[in-house]
Structure 1
């Protein structure tokens, strides 16, 4: 029996949420004293939250931002312009409240937790073999589930780590096909040398693991990383406990795509918080059928953009709860 079998079984048993609560929220929105559809996507947000919180009057009172930090063995191939020390510095900033995400989360009244996963010990180089063993993958998924330990009513997910974007590109390439260049696409601020190195890493990974990339969890352990595995765990745990999830950048959406691939609909409790400036992020959202809540042109990860949506969700819930009801 594989250590990952329990994860598969858990996803198969994922609840569908409260469809009656969703319908009640939609009906309530129609009765608000406003023009039909006047609140636009805010009404959709309320109905979505109602389904997963199990109440026609959802609230955001205990939001939590969870950020996972890791490092990757493939970083040695020139795919980044900085080293793992920069990841450790970002972790330190997040823990001391010095990062932008800390202040964005605080503005939304959210708590923030950083989950550091052996940043000083990168995963194995997945151009040569699997990034993680089955046991390590299962344990990291389980670790990611700790994000819901404080019982938030909204979970915002982010990540940080040297080489994480390339690992996410490799996972997306393995899942959806296409060439490495398509999934490695980055913004103009990334040098052509770095982009070429990333493309070569993804190409080598696809060749190394050819014939072993048909299963989502096998894709994860072979060409993913600890932060993606932990994000998968957080998404699964939130689903089991009826907690809506807001996704940040490309890597977090890749984690949601893996959960969806395990069971279609298993990531329906997740919404894309924003669109980053990475072209591959839009390509992935198109495949997931997701429309981001915000488009601010952000380049950073660490949950910053997704955290900015907390105020929007609070506003949508407040309008649903307190606006005048017609007859």
Structure 2
């Protein structure tokens, strides 16, 4: 099993700004059994639950009675409907959102595809622990709990342009790191990642899933250019050529071209679906992991929205393929669940407007004639 520790963090200096990672009563937890194989995962994806029609009907009935012109709140109205359906309750709430950052190391990092060395993954996990990263500040600002899971950082995946990144046991162990996460009481989940060279994996997965040249999917990531970018493009192309024909499906592609943190994010997305927790997707790496689910089961991401679209060209191309419209556009390219966390206040606004606004009858305001 993966020797990963889920680490609850607070702000710098221990300031109690946000309560990170609440401890659940085990007797009340929504528990799932760890998966033992990719076939187990395939069976789960073939039987995913849908939205709650009763909760959706309650939103549809209430929305026209609120003191505003029809559709005047635009996407906020759509988000209230989406949240209620996937939370399975009316009204929807956004009191306990959670960001979960998974960290993994990639063997392909030794080929110079990133501007930073592989040891930065471990250093950044410590930075998360000390409250010094961007995601710590965004969680405090947005009122989002933060959890971080490093997964076997001492054991990078194999370089995927030479061999499969993981065997089946390894990818399932990583997937279970997200799949077995207790989500009771969580209003929405924002999966994120940390892993030097993981934009290289994201580019390879996107190319293998959707085709096109490696140049379309491969961007600067942490800031590579010139010869380093050429090397990154070559590694992506070689990896896809090595595995695309041999992979049995998109889940097998995740094993061959992905990383432990990508598999864990995919696991958390599926876990959220089973626990009736809506998901806010983050950047390129998060969306590449999620795309592997959608390629196998077209409805696998129906409980997801896209927090942001990054400036990474591969993410913009992938978002177009997935059919998502981002909630925010801030020209970011960080990862760490930064863009998804930044979008949470929009979801909170959707919930507040739907539940808190007076109806025409309550306010004594004349309805339309």
Range class of TM-score, shorter chain: over 0.9
More displaced 10-residue stretch of structure 1: 283-292 or 16-25: 16-25
More displaced 10-residue stretch of structure 1: 240-249 or 299-308: 299-308
Q: Counterparts of 2:118 and 2:211 in 1: how far apart (Å)? A: 29
Q: Counterparts of 1:187 and 1:175 in 2: how far apart (Å)? A: 20
2:321 to 287, 293, 308: 287
Structure 1 length as normaliser, TM-score? 0.95
Q: Counterparts of 1:168 and 1:23 in 2: how far apart (Å)? A: 38
Structure 1: 5+ residue stretches without partners: none
More displaced 10-residue stretch of structure 1: 99-108 or 287-296: 99-108
Q: Counterparts of 1:188 and 1:194 in 2: how far apart (Å)? A: 11
Q: 1:187 to 1:228 in 2, by over 3 A?
A: closer
Q: 1:222 to 1:189 in 2, by over 3 A?
A: closer
Q: Counterparts of 2:174 and 2:330 in 1: how far apart (Å)? A: 31
Would you say the 8 A contact 2:328–2:343 is kept in 1? yes
Aligned residues: 326
| Superposition pairs of residues 45-124 of structure 1, within 5 angstroms | 45-124=79-158
Q: 1:210 to 1:249 in 2, by over 3 A?
A: closer
Would you say the 8 A contact 1:212–1:218 is kept in 2? no
Deviations 1:284-324 (A, max 9, x none): 11111100000011121111121111111111100100101
Structure having the larger proportion of residues in helix: 1
Would you say the 8 A contact 1:84–1:120 is kept in 2? no
- Would you say 1:157 and 2:157 are equivalent positions? no
| Superposition pairs of residues 144-293 of structure 1, within 5 angstroms | 144-149=178-183, 151-186=185-220, 189-293=223-327
Would you say the 8 A contact 1:69–1:115 is kept in 2? yes
Q: Counterparts of 2:193 and 2:345 in 1: how far apart (Å)? A: 21
Q: Counterparts of 2:56 and 2:182 in 1: how far apart (Å)? A: 23
Q: 1:262 to 1:188 in 2, by over 3 A?
A: closer
Would you say the 8 A contact 1:26–1:43 is kept in 2? no
- Would you say 1:30 and 2:64 are equivalent positions? yes
For 1:311, the equivalent position in structure 2 comes to: 345
1:39 to 69, 73, 77: 73
Structure 2 length as normaliser, TM-score? 0.85
Secondary structure of residue in 2 paired with 1:281: helix
Would you say the 8 A contact 1:70–1:118 is kept in 2? yes
Q: Counterparts of 2:251 and 2:212 in 1: how far apart (Å)? A: 20
Structure 2: 5+ residue stretches without partners: 1-35, 362-369
2:171 to 115, 132, 137: 137
State which structure, 1 or 2, has the greater radius of gyration over its C-alpha atoms. Answer: 2
Following superposition, the deviation at residue 187 of structure 1 comes to: 7.1
Following superposition, the deviation at residue 194 of structure 1 comes to: 2.2
Q: Counterparts of 1:293 and 1:210 in 2: how far apart (Å)? A: 32
Secondary structure of residue in 1 paired with 2:100: strand
